[in-house]
Structure 1
Amino acid sequence: MTYVITEACAGNKDTACWEACPVDAIHPGPDDADFAAHDRLHIDPTECIDCGACEPVCPVEAIYPEDDVPEESRGSTTASREVPLPRPA
């Protein structure tokens, strides 16, 4: 189960979660050229190791395990919606 970032991140883009992620699964990072073009961060489910390091450091409580997203935030997550899944070889 991956973690997801909800709409609460929109416009905020605090990078505490990006800094806490041990596998760089949160994109875009502040050093990415397209960082300013995005309104919020997202978690790549193919890179996320489900460690949960990102969740407690989010200042707007926008990060949840995919299976625990509150009802009012479902449909506004960024994990699978914005990150393309890898193509089969």
Structure 2
Amino acid sequence: MTYIVAEPCVECKYTDCAAVCPVEAFHELPDRLLINPDTCIDCDACLPECPVEAIFSDMSIPEEYLPWLEINKEAENYPIISTKQPALYGPGCKGQPE
């Protein structure tokens, strides 16, 4: 089992999850994060840290986010992120504060 980041992260890019990951499995793109499935140790630390509920176990991912299993496999092609940074809050972010 591994965890993946799905579409709710796009344009939000909260990094609270990356800051608690003990194995630096998160990778950063300009508008989102991804989890490297080869690095993730299934520790569950990231799950409660995501304010937009964009992280799912590969065993319980909603059907509409199944394509994100493959998207997260590309994580290793992007820089590792392991610290908390300001959220992106882009125009498509559904978790943007009022």
How does the TM-score come out when normalised to structure 2? 0.69
CA RMSD of aligned residues (A): 1.8
Matches within 5 A, 1:12-27: 12-27=12-27
User: Following TM superposition, by how much is the alpha carbon of 1:71 offset from its aligned partner in structure 2, in angstroms?
Assistant: 1.4
What stretches of structure 2 of length at least 5 have no aligned partner? 78-98
User: Following TM superposition, by how much is the alpha carbon of 1:45 offset from its aligned partner in structure 2, in angstroms?
Assistant: 1.0
**Alignment partner, residue 46 of structure 1:** 38
User: Following TM superposition, by how much is the alpha carbon of 1:39 offset from its aligned partner in structure 2, in angstroms?
Assistant: 1.3
Corresponding pairs, count: 76
State which of 69, 72, 83 in structure 1 corresponds to 2:75.
Answer: 83
Whether the 8 Å contact between 1:3 and 1:79 is mirrored in structure 2 is no
**Alignment partner, residue 66 of structure 1:** 58
Q: Distance in 2 between matches of 1:16 and 1:63?
A: 12
1:12-58 per-position Cα deviation (integer Å, ceiling 9, x unaligned): 01010001101111112xxxxxxxx5211000111111101101110
4+ residue runs over 4 A deviation: none
- State the identity as a percent: 46
Check 1:11–1:24 CA distance in 2 against 1; reply closer, same or farther (3 A cut): same
How does the TM-score come out when normalised to structure 1? 0.76
